[in-house]
Structure 1
Amino acid sequence: MMMILCAVTSIVLLATLTTAAVDDTCMRYGLDIDQPGASCSDIYQKNPSIQDQSGYYLIKTDHLFLAHCEMGDNGWMKVADFDASRGDKCPTGWTDITVNNIRMCRSPSNTAGCYSRTFPVHGTSYRKIRGKLRGYQKYTTDGFNGAISINAAYVDGVSITIGNPRKHVWTFAVGISDDQDNPGNVCPCAANPKSAPPSFVGEHYYCESGNTGPYEDTIYTSDPLWDGAGCVHPNNNCCTNVGLPWFIREFPIAQDDDIEVRICTNSDYSNEAVLVDQLELYVQ
């Protein structure tokens, strides 16, 4: 069984690594069933010959599994990689929708609330999470809407958390307009800000609107959210963060919880929605 598993692993690795990187695969750290790594970063540090070779490696926590490792910047384990434009199906728990020839995912219900998808890390220990998300606005999204519980729909947007009880990682909020002085909630970074994030979010968020001017009952497909572009008003600072479209969150102590991603709104679909077509998550 060991020889069969090693051979299968070698085939997987051969599809992603150069010939030089898989020479004597069954004798290499992270490539041998008898020498699995503890994480992508661990493999990166202990196997210098593969530090520029991204692909699948063997990791063992409470069980043995194949992980896709991005072997740069000390090694990152891929946790989620979804892109509807290349034909990927929506993650379980979300629903497929196509608008203006753009495929995207929405909540599976027309009622308000948060709709969750959890991405496993298989017990891998990490201190950093990085990722990016792209989405779209429908109608009257309110950004941060005044709710103060991390378990509630505190945002019209996407909430990323870990653990139980939940610990905040990052929030992607959607304001109602980039530039209008609207009585509803807009982004804290917009030209006429009206809302602030709850204390547990702090500065760990991005916020943008796909709409400029008065809002309409439509999905604003012409301006994707959280991509660092489309903030046309000179007093709007929602696209100026140097990290966009990526976020990174570092924790003072190691974590091993799976990552939960929730699409949230505090009103039903007829009034507002947040839709997602790209998501990437990595841990280190």
Structure 2
Amino acid sequence: MESVSYFFISSFCLILCACFGANGQEKVVPPEENVQCVISDELESLRYRVYSELSESKKEMDSLRNDLQYWKNETLTILRKYLIIKENSESDQSTCDLTTVNEKLASLQLQPSTRNTTTEEIIDQVRAVMESYKKAQSHELREIISEMSSGRLPLGTFLNPAPSCKHLPEGSSSGNYWIQNAGTGYASLEYCDMSRRCCNSTGGWMRVAHLDMTDPTHHCPAGFRKIGSPRRTCGRSNSGSGCHSTTYSVDGISYSRVCGKIKAYQYSTPDAFHSYYINRARTIDDVYVDGVSLTHGQNPRKHIWTFANAVDEVHSNEWVCPCTKTNTPYTGVVPPFIGNDYFCDTGSRYNYAHHQFYSEDPLWDGAGCGGTSICCEFNNPPWFCKQLSQPTTDDIELRLCADEKWTIDDCTIEQVEIFVQ
């Protein structure tokens, strides 16, 4: 496509160069200069005919070319965004209005006395290139119109949005699809994972959160503190105890199941559910855990999953995970409003150390537990699955919490993946 456009532009410029000099001004040959022309008298006559035909509309043609290119780019962008044209399809990069140019060429009304072989060849080549160019340019559009008229537009495109990711046809690849909001009737572009095996399903999950700080193009959510070393992660920015939150929109799409994982690292001495143990009046809206609280809705928040970070695996008190076997029965208290919907882990398998970043043992990954812990098996981390009591369109809130300032207790997040269905 680029070579065709280049040939056309080169050919057309060969004609226009007869109208303008190298600086774009009208070419005037002083009579007193002895200029040896390399073109025939017939071509000279044709040149001035072309100039007189086009000079008055040059500004209009320039404006038309700019407008045309803008709308071509806008159209291609929209079509790709709506997944009607594939991302890797060739696009038209020409800035010329071929129809207008062809009409100008056809309107020259050349007389036989002004024709010669060179001009005829140039004009014929330009017209042939334009015809091939227009055919290639309209090929994809004709396919789109054909699909629209026959009702064969794929489910999940802008003109035929799917009710949800799980309604996409079997065998669909993971990627962006248009999903319709049943409440408003509007559609939004969503990423559908068609291979995710969460909750014993066979795919069709809509991704609402995707953070991967190992990718340099990803950045911490607004207001979170960025840690660059020894792991590129996101931590709390508040100087005292408390939570720092970010909200992930579901674009009004209804869901009843949530699936996901969070990967983080321990810093210093977080103590799991100790904050609730010492103050059992705390609610889901308070700091009830050192770790991550995942909820939906407001006033009150509704629990989805909790990710607790304990101090180590060797102590036998309320600072450790309930799934640590050094403490039987567990002397702490799991908040009743989270039930069994939690993971608990530690980055310190032995005695904890203050102000140490445990960068080699990620939290909630289902690996690395010692002989005194069954936390790597409890609820089968790293992926959680939560069946909600009823469908909802609530956005999902992630809160990173601790009952001490971040220089004493913290866990820092490296990856977040959350899907709904």
TM-score (structure 2 length as normaliser) = 0.60
Q: Which runs of 5+ in 2 are unaligned?
A: 1-70, 90-142, 196-201
Residue equivalent to 1:277: 414
Cα distance, 1:74 vs structure 2: 4.1
Residue 190 (structure 2) aligned to one of 51, 67, 74? 67
In the alignment, the residues of structure 2 paired with residue 154 and residue 13 of structure 1 have an alpha-carbon distance, to the nearest angstrom, of: 48
Residue equivalent to 2:364: 226
**What amino acid does structure 2 have at the position aligned with 1:158?**
V
Residue equivalent to 1:58: 178
| Structure 2 CA distance for partners of 1:91 and 1:30, relative to 1, 3 Å | farther
In the alignment, the residues of structure 2 paired with residue 236 and residue 60 of structure 1 have an alpha-carbon distance, to the nearest angstrom, of: 45
In the alignment, the residues of structure 2 paired with residue 53 and residue 196 of structure 1 have an alpha-carbon distance, to the nearest angstrom, of: 44
Q: List per-residue Cα deviations over 1:185-212 (Å, max 9, x = no partner).
A: 1110113344232001100000011112
The 8 Å contact of residues 175 and 186 in structure 1, kept in 2 or not, is answered as: yes
In the alignment, the residues of structure 1 paired with residue 212 and residue 349 of structure 2 have an alpha-carbon distance, to the nearest angstrom, of: 26
| Structure 2 CA distance for partners of 1:210 and 1:15, relative to 1, 3 Å | farther
Q: Which runs of 5+ in 1 are unaligned?
A: 17-22
The 5 Å alignment of 1:18-57 reads 27-42=152-167, 44=168, 47-48=169-170, 51-57=171-177
Structure with greater proportional helix content: 2
Cα distance, 1:249 vs structure 2: 0.2
The 8 Å contact of residues 136 and 210 in structure 1, kept in 2 or not, is answered as: yes
Residue 96 (structure 1) aligned to one of 212, 226, 233? 226
Residue 82 (structure 1) aligned to one of 195, 207, 211? 211
| Structure 2 CA distance for partners of 1:116 and 1:11, relative to 1, 3 Å | same
In the alignment, the residues of structure 2 paired with residue 192 and residue 34 of structure 1 have an alpha-carbon distance, to the nearest angstrom, of: 59
In the alignment, the residues of structure 2 paired with residue 254 and residue 13 of structure 1 have an alpha-carbon distance, to the nearest angstrom, of: 33
In the alignment, the residues of structure 2 paired with residue 122 and residue 152 of structure 1 have an alpha-carbon distance, to the nearest angstrom, of: 27
**1:111 pairs with 2:240:** yes
Residue equivalent to 1:10: 83
**What amino acid does structure 1 have at the position aligned with 2:194?**
M
Structure with greater proportional strand content: 1
How many percent of aligned residue pairs carry the same amino acid? 34
Cα distance, 1:159 vs structure 2: 0.2
Moved over 6 A (4+): 1-4
Q: List per-residue Cα deviations over 1:133-185 (Å, max 9, x = no partner).
A: 0111111211012253000010000000001121000000001111223x551
Residue equivalent to 1:177: 312
Residue equivalent to 2:22: none
TM-score (structure 1 length as normaliser) = 0.87
The 8 Å contact of residues 180 and 191 in structure 1, kept in 2 or not, is answered as: no
In the alignment, the residues of structure 1 paired with residue 379 and residue 86 of structure 2 have an alpha-carbon distance, to the nearest angstrom, of: 35
Q: List per-residue Cα deviations over 1:41-95 (Å, max 9, x = no partner).
A: 12x2xx34xx331111111213321101112324110111111112221122322
| SS at structure 2 position matched to 1:159 | strand
Residue equivalent to 1:168: 303
Cα distance, 1:11 vs structure 2: 6.3
Question: Which has the larger Rg?
Answer: 2
Aligned length: 270
